[in-house]
Structures are given as C-alpha cells and as structure tokens.
Amino acid sequence: MSFSDPRTRCDRTGAWAALRAHYERAGRGFDLRAAFAQDAQRFERFSQQAPHVFADLSKNLIDAPTETLLLELARECGLEAYRDAMFAGAPINNTEQRAAMHWLLRKPAPAQSGQVQTATNIVVNGLRDVHATLDAMLQLAEQVRADEAITDIVNIGIGGSDLGPAMVVKALDDLRHPAKRLHFVSNVDGMELGSLLRGLRPERTLFLIASKTFTTLETMTNAHAARDWFLAQGGSQERLTRHFYALTTNLEAAAEFGITTTLGFWDWVGGRYSLWSAIGLPIAIAIGAQGFRELLAGAHAMDAHFCSAPLASNLPVRLALLDLWYRNFFGFTSRSMAPYSHGLRRLPAYLQQLEMESNGKGVDAQGAPLPYATSPVIWGEPGTNGQHAFFQMIHQGPDVVPVEFIALREGGRDLPGQHPRLVANALAQARALMTGRPHEDCGHRSFSGNRPSSFLLLERLDPASLGALIALYEHRVFASGALWGINSFDQWGVELGKTIARDLEPRLATGDTEGLDASTAGLLRRLAS
Ligand code: F6P
C-alpha cells in the first residue's frame, strides 16, 4: 500500500515562527492570576466536555491568541489529514510498513447490510476479524469466570502486554469477579514469579502468556519457569493445555510451547495500544464480557470525538498542543500525572510507556535529526501520596512541572465518606500551584505560584469512562507525534540494550571481558560467578 505522509513538520510552518514571536512578547511573562482577573469567563473559555471526560485547561499558561496560533500550527502541520490517514488504515508506521489500527478494536460491528463503501480493505476485513476474535475472547472469559476450579489467573507479559491490562484490572477492582484473583508478572527477576508461585496451587491456576511476538526474553523466561513449576507439581502435559492460554500474534510459537488455546491479534496493533485486543483477556475475566464491551464503547466514543470535533474543541488535540507549547517554547522537560484515585495508581506507569515509547524520538519520520525536543518525561504517583513525596519540588523547586490532575466526581464503593477529603486535596493542590502565596519575611515559606496544571474530571471510574480516558491519551500522543513529525508507532530505541544483554549473559558465567569497555568489564568481573 503506498502512503504519502500528508504532514508538514512543525518547525517549517509559519505558525511556529509566529508562536516563537508570541512567546517572546507575551507567553514568557504570562501570569495566570492576572489572566483570571482580566477574564471572568476564563474557566468557561478553557474548559470543555468530551465523551466521559470534563477537562479544565484554564490553569494553563495560555490565552486566546496563544490558542489561536497553536490551532493554526495544527492546521499547517496537516494534523487532520494525518489523523484521517490513520483511520483509513494507511501504513503510517513507516519504518515497519504497518498501519496503526488499535481504534478498530473498539469499533462496533458493521450492520450486516450497509457496509461502509469508502473503507479500505484492511479496515473492512480487519473489522470482521476483530469481531470474530472479540466474540471468541469474551466467550472464553465467561467460561473462565464460570469455572469454579480456577481461582487465580496469572498474566505473564511485559510492556504493553502487562501495563495496560494491569492498570485497567486495578482501576476496575470494584467490578472484579469476587472469586477470581488476578496477578501480573512482568520482571525477569525471578523474585516476582517465584514469590507468587509460593502461594498458588496448580490445579487452581490459569496462566495467560501475553506477548505480541512470543519471543520477548522476560515473558518467555517466566513462561518456561511457570510451565516447569506446573509440571513439577504433578501437572501433566495434557493438563497443561487447560491451564495455559496464549495471547499473541505468533500462533506458531505458542503451539510450539505446547499451548492449544490461543487468541490472536494483528501486526497493526502496537504493543502499547493492545489492551483492547486479545491482550485484554485478563480484563474481560475480571469484569466480564459486558464490562469489556463498555470499556470498548467508551474508547470508541472518544475515537468519534477525535475524528469529528473541530480542532478548537478537540480535547486530544488541545492537550497535545499544550504539550508542544510547554516543551518547545517554555522548555519544560516533564509532566507529572496526579490521579487522585487509588484505582488509577498504575496510570502513570502505563502512560510512561504510551507516551515515552511512542514519542521519545530524536529523528523525524524520514529519519532526519530533529532540532527540537519531543516527549516530556512522564512521571507521577496517585494523590494524595505524591503530596507527601515530591510536591515540595513542584511547588517551590526552580523547575516548572505542569501537573495533570485526574479526579472522580463519585468515589469507589468502599468508605465513600473519605472521597470529599480526597477531591478537596486535588482542588487545593491545583489552586495552590496557581495562586502561590508570597511571604515577605521568609523565602522558605514563599510560594511563587503561576504554576500550570490541567484538571480532568470523570463522573466515576467505570469501564466506559476509563475506556474514554485511555483513548484520550492515545490520541493525544498521536496528535503530539503528528505535530512533531515523528513515527509514534515504532520503538527502535529498545533494541540496542537487548542485543548487548544477549552478548553479556554468557560472559557472566565465563568472566570473559574481551572487547568490552573498562566500566562494563569492571562490573562484569564483580558480578561473574
Ligand atoms: O520493550 C519493547 C516492547 O516491544 C514493547 O513495545 C512491547 O509492549 C513489549 O516489548 C512487549 O512485547 P511483546 O508483547 O511482544 O512481548
């Protein structure tokens, strides 16, 4: 399939130069307190409702002229045409010649008669395959839920085959089947799987080997260790097929491993975008088929918003433009994620992969070095825990760190009386960052204020809202990558370390340091057995 990239790189647009001038003239000295004092409508002007997510962007260092220029930049960059190319199934992952169609995984099944005439084959055929696999997966999930013998489900996977499902299962714990415990094992450090296995009984355990490629070192090491443990506990090869399922695109390798129950997916689903596919089986086991369909529906509602809302009221686009404004003009190097929700405690870790593996690139899609910064560092902890750790630095440190608060209008089912205390803290932190508090006599007690934050509000943490929130982040990452002119769907940066590890592992046994640099050699000698 031929594909000509419709994008123009951001630094080659007229809007980029205009933004540079605007930043020097007005952006650099922007003051949030003055902006609120001058504009009684600022909250209304810079907040919006998107599907399942209300966003208050008013505490950001932007005004109407800034937003106008940023929107002009998006237009000049060809963001809409590039978005449409993704939704048409064009191979926008150009270094791997693949489409990026994770959005197709949440598209409803087409009505039997009126198939969309304009859709390309990859989309039409893909959607048919998606729904066949989805139906099979949800049926399997319901079988596991009904199987009283199985109490523990162990997902063995890493990166996108772990972070998304683990985050969602934790977030929706209120809806979890009460008789099923879900465990997630990712690290090649044997301590993780080993300590879990000590508490498990093989006849009660189902292992899900989750790996797009079925070759990932950590996952295959843990999968083999789990199989050895299962067989050593008296499990037969025959019973193994009942206790091990594979979620992968590499059906052959799964069969070779001895697994007969396999759910497949496709190379056009990036690892970090795969929780909607077969990789989501642990989610479906935890919350059931209906819950999983609601998760997909929430995400689909956000897809529709991203595809159809004008740029000025398109939430993923507005967030992406803010990221660019802060990263490339203010020079802020990171963004802190502050979900005021215990359920969302793994969201920062999930977003670290989604954002930094996608947009942590130093060359454009054609491979030319970039003269500007790309992904900010994403970090964070749930509130209020972060307040007692690093918020000191966010309030008073010399670096400005934009914070993204996420709160729920309704809390979880346990101890609901504590919820107002939680959200009061989220509101208080955002307000304190903005207003600051000068102290004339004591610098230690002085807060400069004017520190930016966004505030996202969900009605409650249910599958549909969570699906929409995740899709919002996926599209924001896509939009940022589109503006920066990079390929957000490859991850070549993870390869070199893997290759070197393969070379070093046998040297740990022999102590061979030939050809190594002095530092690696010195450490290897100390580590060699
Ligand atoms: O770390 C690189 C990576 O390829 C991620 O992109 C991916 O999510 C992870 O490894 C796991 O890959 P797989 O699902 O193929 O085991």
Residue bearing the CA closest to ligand 1, atom 2: 494
Does position 2 have pLDDT exceeding 80, yes or no? no
Q: Cα of 128 to ligand 1 centre, how many Å?
A: 26
Q: What pLDDT is stored for residue 421 in this prediction?
A: 97
Q: Is-contact 41 105, C-beta < 8 A?
A: no
Residue 170 annotated among the catalytic residues of the structure:
no
- Compute the C-alpha angle 429/433/436, nearest 5°: 120
Residues of the chain by 3-state class (helix, strand, coil), percent to 5: 55, 10, 35
Which CA distances in Å does 103 have to 121, 395, 474, 504?
16, 38, 9, 39
Helix or strand run (H / E) with residue 377: strand 377-380
Helix or strand run (H / E) with residue 453: strand 453-458
Q: What pLDDT is stored for residue 71 in this prediction?
A: 98
The model's pTM is 0.97
Tokens of 33: 């307190």
Atom of ligand 1 minimally distant from the CA of 158: 11
Q: What confidence tier does 114 reach under pLDDT thresholds 50, 70, 90?
A: low
Integer-rounded Cα Rg, in Å, for the chain is: 24
Q: What pLDDT is stored for residue 196 in this prediction?
A: 98
CB distance 277 to ligand 1 below 6 Å: no
Instruction: Kindly report the length of the chain.
Output: 529
Atom of ligand 1 minimally distant from the CA of 218: 16
Residue 522 to residue 237: CA distance in whole angstroms: 44
Residue 53 in 3-state DSSP? strand
CB distance 95 to ligand 1 below 6 Å: no
Residue bearing the CA closest to ligand 1, atom 9: 159
Tokens of 30: 């922007």
Q: Which is it for the CA torsion 461, 463, 467, 470, positive or negative?
A: positive
Q: What pLDDT is stored for residue 112 in this prediction?
A: 67
CB distance 350 to ligand 1 below 6 Å: no
Residue bearing the CA closest to ligand 1, atom 16: 211
CB distance 158 to ligand 1 below 6 Å: yes
Q: What pLDDT is stored for residue 121 in this prediction?
A: 86
Residue 498 annotated among the catalytic residues of the structure:
yes
Does position 1 have pLDDT exceeding 90, yes or no? no
Mean pLDDT of the chain: 96
Q: Please pick, among 357, 381, 404, 474, the residue that the annotation labels catalytic.
A: 357
Q: What pLDDT is stored for residue 3 in this prediction?
A: 83
101 CB-near residues (< 8 Å, 6+ apart): 86, 89, 122, 123, 126, 266, 268, 269
CA 222 to chain centre: 24
Q: What percentage of the chain carries pLDDT values higher than 90?
A: 94
Residue 492 to residue 245: CA distance in whole angstroms: 29
Q: What pLDDT is stored for residue 118 in this prediction?
A: 59
pLDDT digits (tens, 9 = 90+) for 24-55: 999 999 999 999 999 999 999 999 999 999 99
Q: What pLDDT is stored for residue 167 in this prediction?
A: 98
DSSP 130-183: HHHHHHHHHHHHHHHHH-TT--EEEEE--GGGTHHHHHHHHHTGGGS-TT-EEE
Tokens of 209: 């080997």
Name which residue leads in pLDDT, 119 or 456.
456
Q: Cα of 141 to ligand 1 centre, how many Å?
A: 23
pLDDT digits (tens, 9 = 90+) for 195-243: 999 999 999 999 999 999 999 999 999 999 999 999 999 878 889 999 9
Does position 134 have pLDDT exceeding 70, yes or no? yes
Q: What pLDDT is stored for residue 113 in this prediction?
A: 57
pLDDT digits (tens, 9 = 90+) for 387-438: 999 999 999 999 999 999 999 999 999 999 999 999 999 999 999 999 999 8
Q: Which of 96, 102, 156, 161 to mutate to test the pocket of ligand 1 (most atoms within 8 A of CB)?
A: 161
Residue 381 annotated among the catalytic residues of the structure:
no
Other CB atoms closer than 10 Å to residue 156's CB: what's the count?
28
Q: 244 φ, ψ to 5°? A: -130, 125
Q: Please pick, among 224, 252, 256, 388, the residue that the annotation labels catalytic.
A: 388
Residue 15 to residue 229: CA distance in whole angstroms: 60
Q: 169 φ, ψ to 5°? A: -60, -40
> Which amino acid would we find at residue 330?
F
Atom of ligand 1 minimally distant from the CA of 248: 14
Q: What pLDDT is stored for residue 238 in this prediction?
A: 87
Residue bearing the CA closest to ligand 1, atom 4: 271
> Which amino acid would we find at residue 28?
R
Q: Which of 259, 169, 269 is nearest to 213 (CA)?
A: 269
Q: Which of 316, 300, 307, 314 is nearest to 478 (CA)?
A: 316
Q: What pLDDT is stored for residue 235 in this prediction?
A: 79
Q: What pLDDT is stored for residue 263 in this prediction?
A: 97
Residue 75 in 3-state DSSP? helix
Torsion of CA 280, 284, 286, 292, to 10 degrees: 100
pLDDT digits (tens, 9 = 90+) for 274-329: 999 999 999 999 999 999 999 999 999 999 999 999 999 999 999 999 999 999 99
Read off the pLDDT of each residue in 239-265 and give the average, rounded to a whole number: 96
Q: What pLDDT is stored for residue 510 in this prediction?
A: 96
Q: Which of 93, 98, 213, 218 to mutate to test the pocket of ligand 1 (most atoms within 8 A of CB)?
A: 213
Residue 61 to residue 31: CA distance in whole angstroms: 7
Residue 96 to residue 268: CA distance in whole angstroms: 10
Read off the pLDDT of each residue in 237-264 and give the average, rounded to a whole number: 95
CB distance 352 to ligand 1 below 6 Å: no
Q: Cα of 443 to ligand 1 centre, how many Å?
A: 47
Residue 28, judged by CB atoms within 10 A of its CB (0-12, 13-18, 19+), counts as exposed
